[in-house]
Amino acid sequence: MDLQMTGLNRTLCLGGMYVLGFLFPQLGSLAFLIKYLVMYMLFMSFLTMPLSGNPARLTHLWILVANVLLGFIPYLILRPISEEYALIAFITGITPTGIAAPVLISLIRRDVSFVATSTLITNICIAFIIPATLPFIVGSSLEIHLMEIVFEVMMVVIAPFIVSFGIRLFVPRLEIILKKGTVVSLFVWLITIWIAIAKSAMYLKNQDDAPASQIFTIAGISLILCILAFVLGHFIGGKTLNKEAAQSLGQKNIMLTIWISLTYLNPVVALGPTFYLMFHHIYNGWLLWRFSEKNA
């Protein structure tokens, strides 16, 4: 399969999951599985991530800072207008680097080790930042206990990290066997999207006062954040690391914040990261197509 079809197929499959989610919202009852599906995807990603040649650079710090600011600044801007939209912007913007970002960078023949390091740094650091700040942002409007969310997020992110690297360092034969199952990750990813969309569709169906304008506004917020993330990453990376930094900041681990939204917030908030997922895959599909055209 060529690069153009890889990007196109992923985008088309993603669009299909959106349609299925709205057509069959009953699958939203399986939302409790998202936590475990996310853990599996993170485990497989950490298992295939390069272990050597990943030195941390000052640029990684700027990516982390920008990642955090992409959550807090839009939140502060939107809070006087709507607390719900502000929360959607926060949870979408602060989402760490996507677990598939190193794969995409390898497809366009750029520095995989740089993006792999960004993935590790942002996912681990933001796994601490989100649970530490979310209870204060949400306030008393929802029942969120600080230690509960800290423990849960740590389990979802840190446990797959420890187990995967433990296997790679001490049981290399098992690593070889497990890597043969990486193809399953794509189907797990698609099913997770289907469940998340279905859960949101089920929630909206029960909200008599949920206008279509609300959905378009959420989509607009996600689109603006997506553009900002890729553009800001491009400038942070400079001439030598512009694509690597853009992917590190623009491609996000959306499954993590969809799970947080569905577990601790509400399905409408989960629409923010869900729409972002569509936008960043549309961009990446175009990026792969452009690369394949230049190297045809």
pLDDT above 70 for 296: no
Which pLDDT band, with edges at 50, 70 and 90, does 20 fall under?
confident
Q: CB–CB of 88/271 below 8 Å? A: yes
Let me know: does 53 contact 100? Beta carbons within 8 Å.
no
pLDDT at 143: 58
User: 231 lies in which domain range?
Assistant: 3-294
> Which of residues 209 and 255 earns the better pLDDT score?
255
* pLDDT beyond 70 at 21: yes
Select from 220, 61, 291, 222 the least CA-distant residue to 230.
222
Q: Is residue 263's pLDDT more than 60?
A: yes
Polymer length in residues for the chain = 296
Quick one: DSSP state of residue 32?
G
| CB-facing half-sphere around the CA of 116: CA atoms within 13 A | 18
**Residue 15: pLDDT over 80:** no
pLDDT of residue 3: 39
Q: How many CA atoms lie within 13 A of 153 on its CB side?
A: 29
Indicate the range of 31-40, 46-55, 65-74, 211-220 predicted with least confidence.
Answer: 46-55
| pLDDT for the residue 82 | 93
Average pLDDT of span 51-66: 84
Q: Which pLDDT value is given to residue 2?
A: 38
Q: Report which of residues 137 and 8 the model is more confident about.
A: 137
With the C-alpha atoms ordered 22, 27, 29, 35, is the resulting torsion angle positive or negative?
A: negative
The number of distinct structural domains making up the chain is: 1
pLDDT higher than threshold 70 for residue 289? yes
| pLDDT value of residue 178 | 86
Q: Which of 128-132, 204-208, 255-259 has the lowest mean pLDDT?
A: 204-208
Max intra-chain CA distance, the chain: 57
Q: How buried is residue 121: exposed, middle or buried, by Cβ count under 10 Å (0-12/13-18/19+)? A: buried
- The region of weakest confidence among 125-129, 266-270, 287-291 is 287-291
Is the pLDDT at 141 greater than 60? The verdict is no
Q: State the pLDDT at residue 46.
A: 79
What pLDDT shows up at residue 50? 67
Q: What is the pLDDT of residue 101?
A: 83
Give CA–CA dist 271/227, Å, rounded: 17
State residue 53's pLDDT score.
61
Is the pLDDT assigned to residue 11 strictly greater than 80?
A: no
In angstroms, the CA 34 to CA 193 distance is 9
User: What pLDDT, in 10s, does the model give residues 98-129?
Assistant: 887 887 787 787 888 888 889 889 988 998 89
The CB density around residue 171, as the number of other CB atoms within 10 Å, is: 12
- What residues have CB less than 8 Å from 60, skipping those under 6 apart? 114, 117, 118, 121, 248
Does residue 75 have a pLDDT over 60? yes
CATH of the domain at 213: 1.20.1530.20
What integer pLDDT is reported at residue 288 of this predicted model? 76
- pLDDT tens for 226-253 read 999 999 999 999 989 999 999 999 999 8
Q: Average per-residue pLDDT in the chain?
A: 83
Task: Give the position of tokens 């206008």.
Answer: 211
Residues 134-163, mean pLDDT to the nearest whole number: 76
Banded pLDDT at 9 (limits 50, 70, 90): low
